[in-house]
Amino acid sequence: MQEFPQGIAIHVPKCYNEIGRDVPTNFIMPKLNKNSSIPLYQQLARNLQKQIRSGTFKIGSQLPTERELMQLYEVSRNSVREALDVLAAEGLVQRDQGRGTFVADAKLKLGLLRLTSFTEDMQERHLQPSSRLLKRCIEIPPAGVGELLQLLPNELALYVERLRFADDIPMAINMSYFSLDTCPGLADEDLASDSIYALIENKYHIHLVQAKQTIRAAHASKPEAELLNISPNLPVLIIEGVVFAQDETPIEHLRSIYRSDRYEFAISAIRTP
C-alpha cells in the first residue's frame, strides 16, 4: 500500500538555479499530493529520506535550504521544518545553526536483542521492504546445517535465497534453510512477496522466540557485491545462526549478508555481579 505519489525527474526550477548551488543530476521531485490524507510534511520527509538513502544526496552534502525547499515543493515553512525535524530525529540529517542542513552518516541500526524479521525492521523505519527471490529449492542441507536444525542424515530442508530491498535499494541477502517438518507447505508460499516470519507465525502458528547468532566482517564475493550494488572492496557483515520456536525447536538456519555502509548492529551488555 504505497500512498505516496511516484517521484518524477524534473528540470530544476529557476528559483533553485538562481541560488547557484549544484543540484544532484538525479534529483527527484514528486508532486506532493495536497489531497492525500498523508500530511505534506510526511510526504516531503519521505521523499527526501528516499533520496538520502539512495545516495542522491551524498553524506556530508548540504540539503536545499528551507526557503529553497518551500519553493521547490510549494509548501509552507512549517511543513519544511516538520519534515526536516523527522529526518533529524531519524539521524539522517544534522542541522547546523546558521549553516544549513547536512546529510549525516546514518546507518540502519539494528538491535541484536530483538528477534525481528526484515519486513518488520524496514517497516519500523518507514521504509518499503521488498524481495527478489534468487533461489528456492528442497535439498539436503550441508551436514553442519542439518545438525543445527536437528535433521536426520539426508533429511530434506527448504532453501530460500532472497535479495532484500528497502525502498528499492538492495540491503541484504538472506539465505535460509527451513525445517520442512515444522513448516510443511512453506515451499509453495509466495516467498517473493510475503514475510516468511509472518507466514510461519500466522499460518503455521509457530511462535519464534529466540535466535542464536554470530556476526562477522567479510569481503563480499563478486556476485554478492553485484547483487548488493556495492564495490567488491566494501566489507559486508555476515550473520549466521539458528532461530528457535518455543521448546527450543530449531526452525531456520540463516546466513545473511548485510551492507556495512547501510547497517550497524547495536548490542546491549549487562554486567553481572
Residues of this chain that interact with ligand 16G (CB under 6 A) are 117-119, 174, 176, 195-198, 239, 252, 254, 256
- Using DSSP, state whether 94 is helix, strand or coil: strand
Which CA distances in Å does 120 have to 20, 31, 108, 110, 125? 41, 28, 13, 11, 9
- How far is residue 246's CA from residue 207's CA, in Å, rounded to a whole number? 6
The cell numbers describing 263, all together, are 547497517
Name residues whose C-beta falls within 8 Å of residue 71's C-beta, 6 or more positions apart in sequence. Answer: 13, 15, 16
- Quick one: which of 268, 47, 253 has its CA closest to 147? 253
By beta-carbon proximity to ligand 16G, the closer residue of 72 and 200 is: 200
- Using DSSP, state whether 70 is helix, strand or coil: helix
Q: Which residues pair with 160 in a beta bridge?
A: 136, 176
Q: Buried b / exposed e across 198-223, counting CB within 10 Å, b at 16+?
A: ebbeeeeebebeebebeeeeeebeee
By beta-carbon proximity to ligand 16G, the closer residue of 71 and 174 is: 174
Q: Work out how close the CB of 224 gets to ligand 16G at its nearest, in angstroms, rounded to a whole number.
A: 14
Q: Work out how close the CB of 252 gets to ligand 16G at its nearest, in angstroms, rounded to a whole number.
A: 6
Q: Work out how close the CB of 239 gets to ligand 16G at its nearest, in angstroms, rounded to a whole number.
A: 4
By beta-carbon proximity to ligand 16G, the closer residue of 49 and 256 is: 256
By beta-carbon proximity to ligand 16G, the closer residue of 93 and 196 is: 196
By beta-carbon proximity to ligand 16G, the closer residue of 27 and 263 is: 263
Q: Are 8 and 56 in contact, with CB atoms under 8 Å apart? A: no
Q: Work out how close the CB of 198 gets to ligand 16G at its nearest, in angstroms, rounded to a whole number.
A: 6
Work out whether the CA dihedral 173, 174, 177, 178 comes out positive or negative.
negative
Q: Work out how close the CB of 36 gets to ligand 16G at its nearest, in angstroms, rounded to a whole number.
A: 27
Q: Are 231 and 242 in contact, with CB atoms under 8 Å apart? A: no
Q: Work out how close the CB of 101 gets to ligand 16G at its nearest, in angstroms, rounded to a whole number.
A: 32
By beta-carbon proximity to ligand 16G, the closer residue of 39 and 111 is: 111
By beta-carbon proximity to ligand 16G, the closer residue of 95 and 125 is: 125
Q: Work out how close the CB of 187 gets to ligand 16G at its nearest, in angstroms, rounded to a whole number.
A: 14
